[in-house]
Amino acid sequence: MNEAVAVPAGFKRDAKGNLVAMSNIKAIDLIRDELVGKLSGLAAKQQVQMRDFKASIIDELSAFVDLSAEEYQIKLGGKKGNITLMNFDSTLKVQIAVSEQLQFDERLQVAKQLVDECIHAWSDGANDRIRTLVEHAFQVDKEGQVSTARILGLRKLDMEDERWDRAMKAIADSIQVTDSKSYIRFYQRRNTDDAWQAVSLDIAAL
- Residue 78 predicted with pLDDT over 70: no
- Does residue 206 sit in the same domain as residue 113? yes
What is residue 1's predicted lDDT score, i.e. its pLDDT? 46
Q: Which residues contact 197 (CB under 8 A, 6 or more apart)?
A: 187, 188, 189
Q: Structure pTM?
A: 0.65
- Does residue 109 sit in the same domain as residue 193? yes
- Does residue 89 sit in the same domain as residue 67? no
Distance CA 112, CA 176 (A): 17
- Does residue 69 sit in the same domain as residue 124? no
- Does residue 7 sit in the same domain as residue 64? yes
DSSP 191: S
pLDDT digits (tens, 9 = 90+) for 94-137: 999 888 888 899 999 999 999 888 888 876 655 677 777 788 88
- Does residue 142 sit in the same domain as residue 197? yes
- Does residue 34 sit in the same domain as residue 61? yes
pLDDT digits (tens, 9 = 90+) for 160-190: 889 999 999 999 999 998 888 889 999 999 9
Please report the DSSP string for 4-63 in residue order: PPPPPTTEEE-TTS-EEEGGGS-HHHHHHHHHHHHHHHHHHHHHHHHHHHHHHHHHHHHH
Which residue has better confidence, 22 or 139? Answer: 22
- Does residue 55 sit in the same domain as residue 131? no
Where in the sequence is the domain holding 48, given as residue range(s)? Answer: 1-78
Question: What is the average per-residue pLDDT within 132-143?
Answer: 83
Which residue has better confidence, 146 or 122? Answer: 146
From 78, 98, 114, the end of a domain falls on 78
- Does residue 70 sit in the same domain as residue 98? no
What is residue 168's predicted lDDT score, i.e. its pLDDT? 93
Which residue has better confidence, 3 or 13? Answer: 13
Domains contained in the chain, number = 2
- Does residue 55 sit in the same domain as residue 137? no
From 78, 105, 137, the end of a domain falls on 78
Neighbouring CB atoms inside 10 A of 105's CB total 12
- Does residue 35 sit in the same domain as residue 131? no
Distance CA 83, CA 95 (A): 6
3-class secondary structure for 131-166?
Answer: HHHHHHHCCECCCCCECHHHHHHHHHCCCCCHHHHH
Sign for the CA dihedral angle at 170, 172, 173, 175 comes to positive
* Packing angle of the helix pair 162-174, 107-121 (nearest 10 deg): 160
From 30, 51, 78, the end of a domain falls on 78
Q: Which among 118, 123, 110, 108 has a CA at the least distance from the CA of 160?
A: 118
Calculate the average pLDDT of the chain: 88
What is residue 127's predicted lDDT score, i.e. its pLDDT? 64
- Does residue 35 sit in the same domain as residue 97? no
